[in-house]
Amino acid sequence: MPENPTPLIPSAASATDAALLLATARERAQDAGLDYAGCLYPQEAWSLLAAGVARLVDVRTVEERKFVGHVPGSLHVAWQSGTALLRNPRFLRELENKAGGKDSVIVLLCRSGKRSAAAAEAATRAGFSQVFNVLEGFEGDLDEQNRRGDVGGWRHHRLPWQQD
């Protein structure tokens, strides 16, 4: 994916701005040959959420949400669970029920954007039409010391989050 640009929309998106963000996200996915609707940078995802255009679904484990933090108002449907990170066999059914159906605009978030990408692929194969992945995830990529939090991610961009 390209380096995170300056966000297109710094706050809540208007209907026109939201359509532009979604179109840009779709282009990114198409350019990268991805099977799901699109890819959003954290600031872009926040703009869509703040405008009420999309629903954010955190696919991390319960423990990650509790101890690392989560986005206020986000929905939770674990893609994997437990220390073995076993795939949640109810993921697609839970996603459909919590996010409002297969045609809802759904933005998936995980730690780094990798698990949420896998979840977006599975959802698309199951008939979800508007599933987007948050690039960089909640914690971002690893830095030179193999730590997260300083190289991209929802928290790094100072977007709203809280910790239990």
| Domain-wise residue ranges, the chain | 36-163
Split at pLDDT 50, 70, 90, the class of 8 is very low
> Where is average pLDDT lowest: 9-23, 82-96, 143-157?
9-23
At 16, list the tokens.
């026109």
Q: How far apart are CA 35 and CA 6, in angstroms?
A: 25
Whether CATH 3.90.79.10 fits 36-163? no
Digit-coded pLDDT (tens) for 70-100: 999 999 999 998 878 899 999 999 999 999 9
Q: Residues 67, 161: contact at Cβ < 8 Å?
A: no
Digit-coded pLDDT (tens) for 108-133: 999 999 999 999 999 999 999 999 99
Q: How far apart are CA 63 and CA 60, in angstroms?
A: 8
